[in-house]
C-alpha cells in the first residue's frame, strides 16, 4: 500500500508539473500532504514535517554558507590561475575546451558540493 502511494504521488507530482497545472513549489507542498491524508497519516503529518525540517535545516544552512564562501572566492580571483592554465593548454579548440571544463569540474567537485562546482565552472 505504501509503495503504491509513493509511486502514485511521484506520478501525480510529475503529471501536474509537466502539464503546468501546478508550479513545482506548490506541488511539493500540496501533493505530499494530500497523499498523507489519503494514506491515513493525518495525525502524524505535523511531527513528520517537523522531523524533516530539523534533519534538513543544518544541510541547508551549510549549503548556503558554502555558496557564499565560494562566491567570495570566485570574486577574489582564487580560481583564475587554474582557469587561465586550462585555457592556455586548450588554445581555443572546442573539444579541448570541453575536456578542460570537465577537468575543472572534476577538481572543483572534490569538495562534494554540486552548487559550488556549477558556480565555478559556469563563472570560468
pLDDT per position as a tens digit, 5-41: 999 999 999 999 999 999 999 999 999 999 999 999 9
Could you tell me if 35 and 79 lie in one domain?
no
Q: Which residue has the higher pLDDT, 124 or 95?
A: 95
- Give yes or no for residue 102 having a pLDDT over 90: no
Tell me the H-state helices in 39-93.
Answer: 45-76, 80-90
Could you tell me if 27 and 70 lie in one domain?
no
What domain range is 4 assigned to?
1-40
Question: Residue 110: pLDDT band by 50, 70, 90 thresholds?
Answer: confident
Could you tell me if 70 and 124 lie in one domain?
yes
Give percent of the chain with pLDDT exceeding 70.
98
Question: Residue 124: pLDDT band by 50, 70, 90 thresholds?
Answer: low
Could you tell me if 64 and 122 lie in one domain?
yes
Q: How far is CA 77 from CA 29, 70, 71, 84, 107, in A?
A: 40, 10, 10, 11, 16
Q: What does the block give as the cell for 62? A: 551549510
Say whether pTM exceeds 0.85.
Answer: no
Could you tell me if 26 and 67 lie in one domain?
no
Amino acid at each position: 500500500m505504501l509503495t503504491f502511494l509513493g509511486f502514485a504521488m511521484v506520478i501525480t507530482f510529475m503529471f501536474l508539473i509537466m502539464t503546468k497545472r501546478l508550479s513545482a513549489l506548490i506541488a511539493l507542498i500540496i501533493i505530499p500532504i494530500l497523499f498523507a491524508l489519503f494514506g491515513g497519516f493525518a495525525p502524524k503529518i505535523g511531527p513528520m514535517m517537523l522531523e524533516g525540517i530539523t534533519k534538513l535545516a543544518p544541510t541547508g544552512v551549510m549549503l548556503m554558507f558554502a555558496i557564499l564562501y565560494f562566491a567570495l572566492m570566485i570574486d577574489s580571483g582564487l580560481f583564475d590561475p587554474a582557469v587561465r592554465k586550462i585555457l592556455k593548454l586548450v588554445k581555443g579548440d572546442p573539444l579541448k575546451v570541453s575536456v578542460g571544463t570537465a577537468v575543472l569540474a572534476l577538481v572543483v567537485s572534490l569538495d562534494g558540493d554540486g552548487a559550488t562546482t556549477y558556480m565555478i565552472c559556469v563563472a570560468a
